[in-house]
Amino acid sequence: MPRSLWRFAAFYFWYYAALGAYTPYVGRWVDALGHGGFVIGAMLGLWYGTRVLAPPTWAALTGRSARPGEWFVAGCVATTLCFAGFLFTREAWALLGVMAVFGLFYNAVMPQFEAMTLTALGPSPEQYGRLRVWGSVGFLLVASSYGALMDYVGAEAFPWLTLPLFVAMIISAWPHRHDRPPELPGPAVADAGHLFKRPGVRRFLLVAMLMQLGFGPFYVFYTLHLQAAGHSGAAIGALWAIGVTIEIAMFWQAPRLIARFGAARLLGVCLGVSVLRWALVSGFADLFWVMALAQTTHALSFATFHACCMRLITEYFPGRRAVAGQSLLYGFSSGVGGVLGAGLAALMWERGGGGVGAFAAGAVVAAIAWLVFALRQRDVTVGTT
């Protein structure tokens, strides 16, 4: 990889290293503060809600600026300052308020950075995977080690342990202060609305949303569910590491699998495997070897599923319409699906039997997604009008 691109790899590393602390362990911290499942679910629900609002708002601001790279650095600084607010908050209303502003900035900067990365790659977009993989490495190193670290120093230290990662993110953002995103002629909003009505599109987006909804218990309560089943922080970190490691490996192999079997066929397999995964996590959380086996299915239920969605979205939304397609997918899946998934997870955690009920609900949702996908006979021809 050219030396000039290492600064991009560095930012991916630290951005996702911070995410590797936040996603697996923020629920454990909020639980240690004495709050219940509804507060934890609301925290993650706000996280996903800001993923819908933040990117287009930030894009509108930076698009009018003659120095978008400086906006990017400013966004990273604002992210860190907002996260520092967690150092001084304990009450539920304060936690949710800090979460809302923190999520707005944290979820805003990455889409801008992705655009700057593609601009820097120019005619060599195939190099993207070699840069993005450093983000997964950062997530892996932190997620696998912070469980044991929090066992040692206490879960209440989570904000102090995580803040240095955001400071490192600012430092890695500084070399990009003069970078610019591409000036692309984006499609009109009407394109997205028109293409939304094409055969197969709505069903595909519904499946993607249901899959994300089924992941809700995993993102919100997986660490707490394993902790309640008697696993140590080190063991929980190891299980997170298994999932991310297999994710990295599968992202490299997914293009070959899609070329051989087709994205639609693989998507159905991923949905079926997800049903099995959440059923295992629901019923056998006390068995480490079963949880390790379940985590290996992350290769299909997350990595391959995501790769298949990317392939199908380019078929449903070809050419310059891809931006509209990505917007719809991001909004339905990460946005609506994420918020509903966090809400379902919190409800089942509090009223449906804790982790057992929450992950059983995840399995049911994944099964519904598979059924919706299987009943797509009229939608098999992609791109028809």
The string of DSSP letters for 247-292 reads HHHHHHHHHHHHHHH-HHHHHHHHHHHHHHHHHHHHH-TT-HHHHH
Radius of gyration of the chain (CA): 20
pTM: 0.79
H-only helix segments in the chain: 6-32, 37-63, 68-84, 92-121, 128-153, 158-173, 189-196, 201-214, 216-228, 233-261, 263-283, 288-296, 298, 305-316, 322-330, 338-351, 354-374
Q: Which helix (H) or strand (E) holds 175?
A: none
DSSP, residue by residue, 185-249:
-PPPHHHHHHHHTSTTHHHHHHHHHHHHHHTHHHHHHHHHHHHHTT--HHHHHHHHHHHHHHHHH
Domains, the chain, with CATH or none: 1-184 (1.20.1250.20), 189-385 (1.20.1250.20)
**pLDDT tens for each residue of the chain, 385 residues long:** 566 778 889 999 999 999 999 988 998 999 999 998 889 888 888 888 887 787 777 777 776 777 878 889 999 999 999 999 999 999 999 999 999 999 999 988 887 787 787 677 776 655 666 777 888 889 989 988 988 899 899 989 999 999 999 999 999 999 988 876 555 444 444 455 555 566 678 888 899 999 999 999 998 899 999 999 999 999 999 999 999 898 888 877 877 888 888 888 899 999 999 999 999 999 999 999 999 999 999 988 888 888 888 778 777 776 556 556 666 777 778 778 888 998 999 999 988 788 999 999 999 999 999 999 988 644 444 444 3
